[in-house]
Amino acid sequence: MHFDSLAELWQMGVHGPWVWSAYGICVALIALNVVWAVHRGRRVRRDIRGLIRRQSLQEKQ
């Protein structure tokens, strides 16, 4: 590792706040993108299951 300790890695000389805030915000955004895509997939599957259920109920009546 280039740094001698984890504390030095955290401080990054004087640039710790810039580097870690950039990584924090942006990694959160990228993770949000993935979670959002997967979540929408689940919701659409649930909605289609709901459609099928409603349709089969109507057919029975």
Which residues of this chain interact with other proteins, rule CB under 8 A? 1-3, 9, 12-16, 18-19, 21-23, 25-27, 29-30, 32-34, 36-38, 40-41, 44-45, 47-49, 51-52
CB 61, min distance to other proteins, A: 20
Q: Region of 13 please: left (phi>0), alpha (psi -120 to 50) or beta.
A: left
Q: Closer to other proteins at the Cβ: 2 or 61?
A: 2
- What is the distance between the alpha carbons of residues 56 and 33, in angstroms, rounded to a whole number? 35
Structure tokens at 26: 């942006």
Q: Closer to other proteins at the Cβ: 34 or 61?
A: 34
Structure tokens at 22: 């950039």
